[in-house]
């Protein structure tokens, strides 16, 4: 969802240009009423029980490689018919391959390139996850001519390469909603079947609104389970006391935009999420539980620091949407070579 909402936030702000989207999963459902869409498979990481499943991910990516010749032909046919000026990619496997074969300039606007183009510390215990993440990115998501890396944190760029580091992009719906104080906890699960989090949330004195645990509204003590709804999620996030979430970049940025502290539970073996959570702690925006099994004591320590976290967010977080839109427009008018 973070990839498609970021792409939509950019395209909707550039009405002078025409866009044709390529993507899979929920991309056609979300965009077909607004833009033409060519549906393709999604190259992605497979998750199981709050953990990146290495073998499942390998099998899935192997299927994408098998499908690559057919999908690349479909995209080449679209390029030949539509004659675009440039291709823009947000962690998509097939489009850069087809663009390169067609001689079409292709640049990236994403967060995941931070692992490839920036310098950052890697703890010894996280080296296997880092190595697997870097290998996946190098093999499947490193075919672009220029990279605009959008991020709420800015580690040093490695020398060489056509890479730029910019503040994050926010969807327009988030920018239109006013943050307001609240008492409830906003909890978002990006992977299902995560009972340790729910067990800890049940013991809080606050009401908790939970997304990502199913598609049917339900109530259990202080927990209110809600089905996925883009507008409702933003309203509940904007009015919470703080957010508890895995460490996906998009939701972190929206919480920071609303000034909400974060308790992150990065998905195991996903180094990008661990790096995001580590930076949340380093910048004073919140904290994280490295073992993904929070306890009531973890929540008590976190809640005692809420004023400190809120003050750090207010001082430091920057919405980079306008800056990124301007830079994307410049690259469309003068594509990278």
Q: Which residue has the higher pLDDT, 191 or 134?
A: 134
Range of the domain at 282: 173-316
pLDDT band for position 275 (cuts 50, 70, 90):
very high
The answer on 215 and 111 residing in a single domain is no
Domain total for the chain?
Answer: 2
User: Do 136 and 187 belong to one domain?
Assistant: no
Please check whether residues 289 and 235 belong to one and the same domain.
Answer: yes
In terms of domains, do 325 and 310 share one?
no
Regarding whether 122 and 181 lie in a shared domain, the answer is: no
Residue 1 has pLDDT above 80, yes or no: no
Q: Are residues 226 and 154 in the same domain?
A: no
- pLDDT value of residue 28: 82
Whether the pLDDT of residue 121 is over 70: the answer is: yes
pLDDT band at 190 (very low <50, low <70, confident <90, very high): low
Which residues, including other chains, have CB under 8 Å from residue 207's CB and lie 6 or more apart?
A: 183, 184, 185, 222, 224
Dump pLDDT digits (tens) for 213-223.
777 788 999 99
Q: Do residues 133 and 24 share a domain?
A: yes
Judged by phi (left if over 0) then psi (alpha if -120 to 50, else beta), residue 41 lies in beta
Residue 278 has pLDDT above 60, yes or no: yes
Pair 24, 32: CB distance under 8 Å: no
pLDDT for the residue 196: 80
51 or 285, higher pLDDT: 285
> Are residue 310 and residue 209 in the same domain, yes or no?
yes
Q: What is the CATH number of the domain that holds 216?
A: 3.40.50.2000
Q: What is the mean pLDDT of residues 8-29?
A: 90
Tell me which residue has tokens 């899979």: 24
Q: What is the pLDDT of residue 58?
A: 73
Residues 327 and 298 grouped into a single domain: no
The whole-chain average pLDDT of the chain stands at 90
What digits encode the pLDDT tens for the residues 238-265?
A: 999 999 998 999 999 999 999 999 999 9
% the chain with pLDDT above 70: 93
Same domain, 161 and 180: no
């Amino acid at each position: 969802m973070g990839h498609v909402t970021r792409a939509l936030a950019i395209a909707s702000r550039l009405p002078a240009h025409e866009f044709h989207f390529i993507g899979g999963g929920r991309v056609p459902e979300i965009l077909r009423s607004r833009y033409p869409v060519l549906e393709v498979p999604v190259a992605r990481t497979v998750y199981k029980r709050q953990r990146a499943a290495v073998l499942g991910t390998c099998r899935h990516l192997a299927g994408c490689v098998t499908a690559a010749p057919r999908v690349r032909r479909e995209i080449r046919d679209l390029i030949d018919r539509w004659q675009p000026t440039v291709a823009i990619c947000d962690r998509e496997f097939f489009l850069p391959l087809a663009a390169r074969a067609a001689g079409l300039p292709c640049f990236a606007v994403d967060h995941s390139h931070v692992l490839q183009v920036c310098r950052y510390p890697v703890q010894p215990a996280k080296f296997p996850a880092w190595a697997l993440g870097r290998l996946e990115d190098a093999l499947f998501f490193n075919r672009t001519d220029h990279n605009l890396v959008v991020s709420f944190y800015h580690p040093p760029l490695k020398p060489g390469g056509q890479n730029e580091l910019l503040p994050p992009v926010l969807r327009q719906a988030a920018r239109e909603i006013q943050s307001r104080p609240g008492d409830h906890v906003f909890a978002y699960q990006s992977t299902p079947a995560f009972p340790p989090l729910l067990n800890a949330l049940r013991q809080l004195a606050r009401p908790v609104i939970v997304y990502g645990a199913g598609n049917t509204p339900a109530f259990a003590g202080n927990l209110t389970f809600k089905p996925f709804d883009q507008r409702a999620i933003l309203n509940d996030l904007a009015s919470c006391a703080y957010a508890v979430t895995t460490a996906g970049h998009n939701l972190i940025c929206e919480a920071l935009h609303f000034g909400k502290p974060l308790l992150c539970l990065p998905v195991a073996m996903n180094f990008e999420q661990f790096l995001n959570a580590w930076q949340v702690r380093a910048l004073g925006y919140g904290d994280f539980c490295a073992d993904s099994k929070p306890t009531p004591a973890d929540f008590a320590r976190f809640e005692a620091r809420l004023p400190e976290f809120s003050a750090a967010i207010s001082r430091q977080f920057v919405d980079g949407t306008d800056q990124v839109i301007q830079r994307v427009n410049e690259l469309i008018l003068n594509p990278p070579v």
